[in-house]
Chains A and B, each alone.
Chain A
Amino acid sequence: MNKDRFEKLIAVFKSQSLSKIEKEEMLKSIRYAIAADDLKKESSQKVSLFSRFFSLRIVANRRVFAAFSLMVLVLSSAGVSKAAEQSLPGDFLYPVKTQVNEKIKTSLASTAQQKAQVASELTLKRLDEAEVLLEHGKLDEDKKEVITKNLEKHNEEIKKRITELGESENISTATDLDDQLGWSLEGHAKVLDKLAEEREDSLETNSGEDVKDSEDSEKTSDQPKRDFRPGHSRKVIKELQQRAERSSHRGVDRVEEQE
């Protein structure tokens, strides 16, 4: 192909545009979506008032809570699990989302590839939640803990499955999965930075000794700690950031190989 031809083809791409009708229709659809958002917001405010009322009373009595949960699940499991999908850490229905809906999803994945894919999707979902909370200024320590703990769990699963795939000589699938997650994580770079950065802030507010302790223990021991510690959780965030970085480097490497 000669240069002129190439430029001409690029010009065709440049000339693409939406027709007037397409543009109007799209604007209409956007307006509908926005109006639907407003409606959803109104109804979710009602739900959250309802859930707050119950969470206050129910926490006092775990048996009632269990019975109530069972009743809700039996009577309207489909509706609840659907509603739970929209919930965020701290919401009444959030445990339904992570402990019921997502466990079902995970158990339905049979191959290592599917399992890694589900774990990747859940990782991105957690980051989406963190983004929403961050935007609302509601990303406090408790919620960060919930999200980071879940991220840790998903990350372990991804690492395990990718290693499994690599060992079963399915290296290209493993790399693809790694790449895909890396690319998507790049889109969440801001919230990852925020999670990492705010962790450091929270460390600074602790005593200086604590900081040193957690850093030392990271260096000297690779054993996973079960309890939640700022230093440990930051490690997960760092790993996710590194994954995003690696995938973009691989892209560059590929070109260099071709060159």
Chain B
Amino acid sequence: MNDIDFEKIYNEHADPIFRYCFFRVSSREVAKDLTQEAFIRTWRSFEKGQQILNIKAFLYKVASNLVIDHYRKHKEVSLDLLKEKGFDFVNEGRQAPDFLDLELVAREIQKLPLKYQQVVTMRYVEDMSPKDIADIVGVSENSASVLIHRGIKMLKKNLNVEDLDEQR
């Protein structure tokens, strides 16, 4: 892979991968580090001659592993710590409907079992299809749909969102 290709891949996928990490760790700084590492590892795999058929799926897989490793290393992350580490919707100057509510959603997402965090993020934040998600997670399309459905249902239930039976 040459430099130009890599830059193209980076420009195309940097934001989605960053968003994916951010949704899962709620810290811009941590999400940035994980995104950067995901691209470095992907590049290294290219360098080692590994065949990568679906670059998008590969990047998500690497990023997922990094998020899991991040949780493994920092298991006890309190909400206060999250704030200290840069949980900073407000400071980002984005249109935050309600900072506290965002915090609540982020906290509930992180309380989901890891497998649900992964699929809910891909489905909700990236609008990915169950098939794409299945490719990345390495399960059948059917299992992916079940995971998505259950994950979203669980998230909505924990947040007391109305219309629990809604399916996406």
Contact surface of A with B, Cβ cutoff 8 Å? 1-3, 5-6, 8-10, 12-18, 22-23, 26-27, 29-30, 33-34, 37, 132, 135-136, 176, 180, 183-184, 186-187, 189, 248, 250-252, 254-255, 258-259
Contact = CB atoms under 8 A, between A and B. Distances in A.
Interface in B100-117: 101-102, 104-105, 113-116
B167 interface: no
21 contacts: A6-B159, A13-B124, A15-B94, A16-B23, A17-B15, A18-B15, A30-B40, A33-B36, A34-B40, A135-B48, A136-B48, A180-B72, A183-B72, A183-B114, A184-B68, A250-B113, A251-B116, A252-B150, A255-B150, A258-B154, A259-B153
Question: What are the 7 closest A-B residue pairs judged by CB atoms, nearest first?
Answer: A251-B113, A187-B65, A135-B48, A6-B161, A17-B15, A33-B40, A9-B105
Nearest to B72: A180
Contacts of B154: 255, 258
Contact of A258 (B10, B65, B96, B157): B157
Interface string B147-168: 0001001101101111100100
A18 B97 contact: no
Interface residues of B, number: 57
Contact of A10 (B15, B75, B105, B163): B105
Contacts of B97: 5, 8-9, 12
A254 B49 contact: no
B115 to A, nearest CB: 5
A13 B125 contact: yes
Given A9-B101, A252-B115, 4 more contacts: A5-B97, A15-B95, A187-B68, A251-B115
B49 A135 contact: yes
Interface in B39-77: 39-40, 43-45, 47-50, 61, 64-65, 68-69, 71-72, 75
Given A12-B96, A30-B10, A1 B116 contact: no
A18 B163 contact: no
B159 A23 contact: no
B61 to A, nearest CB: 8
Interface in B5-29: 7, 10-11, 14-15, 18-19, 22-23
A10 B124 contact: yes
A13 B104 CA distance: 12
A27 B7 contact: yes
Contacts, number: 122
Interface of B: 7, 10-11, 14-15, 18-19, 22-23, 32, 35-36, 39-40, 43-45, 47-50, 61, 64-65, 68-69, 71-72, 75, 89, 94-98, 101-102, 104-105, 113-116, 124-125, 138, 150, 153-154, 156-157, 159-163, 166
Contacts of B116: 251, 255
Given A30-B40, A37-B47, A258-B157, A5 B101 contact: yes
Contact of A16 (B22, B39, B49, B65): B22
Contacts of A2: 161-162
A18 B153 CA distance: 30
A250 B115 CA distance: 11
A13 B117 CA distance: 14
Contacts of B105: 6, 9-10, 13
B148 to A, nearest CB: 12
Contacts of A12: 89, 94-97, 102
Given A10-B124, A13-B19, A17-B19, A184 B113 contact: no
B125 A10 contact: yes
Nearest to A121: B72
Nearest to A5: B101
B36 A30 contact: yes
Contacts of A136: 48-49
A13 B105 CA distance: 10
A22 B35 CA distance: 11
A135 B50 contact: yes
